[in-house]
Amino acid sequence: MDDLKGKYLGQIADAADETALESIRLAAIGKKGEISLKMRELGRMTPEERQVAGPALNALKDEINSALAAKKAALGDAALDERLRGEWLDVTLPSRPRRAGTLHPVSQAGEELTAIFADMGFSVAEGPRIETDWYNFDALNIPGHHPARAEMDTFYMHRAAGDNRPPNVLRTHTSPVQIRAMEAQGAPIRIICPGGVYRADYDQTHTPMFHQVEGLALDTDISMANLKWVLEEFCRAFFEIDDVELRFRASHFPFTEPSAEVDIRCSWAGGALRIGEGDDWMEILGSGMVHPSVIAAGGIDPEVYQGFAFGIGIDRLAMLKYGIPDLRAFFDSDLRWLRHYGFASLDVPTLRGGLSR
Ligand code: PHE
């Protein structure tokens, strides 16, 4: 009995893995194991012999079972330790040891303008970049034959042959979010929507994808005077200089009446773009009082609610504020440019802490 015990406990102690353990178990106490066979011989013993051998065999079987269980647990712990050692990671190391990433000027400008409008009570709304014909045009009072559709240089999505619905479009402006926000929230409402828009256009101040921030404010008593104040206040806060000069020009949009485009005084002298000086004007936004048909398309009663909307070019704001003369560079993904014009990613702009300093 002692030989058996010594043999199997020794094997268990030396077992390298669970497979080895299992074959030891089979050899000792499996159906045809050595100890099981011995237990079968008990029947052939005299009662006196059996009284000694029976309990001893049972005790041995128990001992082997617990040795197996203990070794199995120890093997599991060792495997876990091994894995923890292998997958060890120093979470205190800096994520970019040599060069921190930076925020793109468009992202930075987006964060800044969101902080400013949030302070004026606007919340952020969103909509899809692939938009239906209805949201991008019809709901905004731009019917099928309207010249504005052609003027916008729209990118149309493909439709399967035989599908006669009007094609979806890459949204040409953020104005469809006016409709979506009115549908979702009703009135009164005060929202902005920053996001990407698309038009087939390419030169120093136009790229096929660019960014706008839409604004919409509806209530029972909102006038053009409120629009003018909000835009002027916004520009002063955004450019962080008091002598920003704006020019409101009467204009036309199908979705506003009356409409105004706003230009900002700037200088291109010497190839550098500077704001607050010079004799040039750069158009930065379109705006106006929301057309009653648009309010109705959003599911709101235009007899009760009125208000203003605007669409500002975010990229243009960033060009002016940070003195970047060519818009195309914004989307070239040139690392040297990104490092030069990028912003520290952890400096969240706030009105209290300063927007861009
Ligand atoms: N959607 C217009 C554009 O992209 C801008 C605009 C928005 C004008 C809201 C008036 C009101 O040109």
- pLDDT tens-digit series, residues 155-200: 999 999 999 998 999 999 999 999 999 999 999 999 999 999 999 9
Length of the chain: 357
The per-residue pLDDT of the chain, averaged, comes to: 91
Q: From CA 47, how far away is CA 114, in angstroms rounded?
A: 93
Total count of domains within the chain: 2
Q: Which atom of ligand 1 is nearest to the CA of 215?
A: 9
- Out of 141, 253, 285, 290, mutate this one to test ligand 1's pocket (max ligand atoms within 8 Å of CB): namely 253
229 in any annotated domain:
yes
242 in any annotated domain:
yes
* Centre of ligand 1 from the C-alpha of residue 170, in Å: 16
Which residue's CA is the nearest one to ligand 1's atom 4? 173
Q: What pLDDT was estimated at residue 110? A: 95
User: Which is more confident, 145 or 281?
Assistant: 281
Q: What pLDDT was estimated at residue 343? A: 84
Q: What pLDDT was estimated at residue 150? A: 72
Whether 136 and 64 map to the same domain: the answer is: no
Exposure string for 224-237, b = 16+ CB within 10 A, e = fewer: eeebbebbeebbeb
Q: Can you give the residue range of the structural domain that contains 45?
A: 2-85
What pLDDT digit, counting tens, does each position of 253-265 carry? 999 999 999 999 9
Backbone CA torsion sign across 146, 152, 153, 154: negative
The fraction of the chain above a pLDDT of 90, given in percent, is 66
Q: Which range is least confidently modeled, 172-186, 216-230, 296-310, 317-331?
A: 317-331
Query: Residue 287 forms beta bridges with which residues?
Result: 260, 310
90 in any annotated domain:
no
Say which DSSP state 139 is in.
G
CB of 215 within 6 A of ligand 1: the answer is no
The fraction of the chain above a pLDDT of 70, given in percent, is 96
Whether 333 and 226 map to the same domain: the answer is: yes
Q: What pLDDT was estimated at residue 96? A: 65
Whether 324 and 213 map to the same domain: the answer is: yes
CB of 136 within 6 A of ligand 1: the answer is no
Mean pLDDT of 49-69: 91
Whether 231 and 166 map to the same domain: the answer is: yes
Whether 238 and 118 map to the same domain: the answer is: yes
CA distances from 39 to 11, 46, 61, 253 (A): 21, 14, 10, 98
Q: From CA 49, how far away is CA 35, in angstroms rounded?
A: 16
Whether 200 and 151 map to the same domain: the answer is: yes
- Out of 173, 198, 261, 284, mutate this one to test ligand 1's pocket (max ligand atoms within 8 Å of CB): namely 173
* End-to-end CA separation in angstroms for the chain: 84
Q: Answer whether residue 348 shows pLDDT above 80.
A: no
Enumerate the H helices of the chain as residue ranges. 2-14, 18-29, 34-40, 47-86, 105-119, 133-136, 147-151, 176-185, 224-239, 292-297, 314-322, 335-341
Q: What is the CATH number of the domain that holds 285?
A: 3.30.930.10
CB of 141 within 6 A of ligand 1: the answer is no
Q: What pLDDT was estimated at residue 234? A: 96
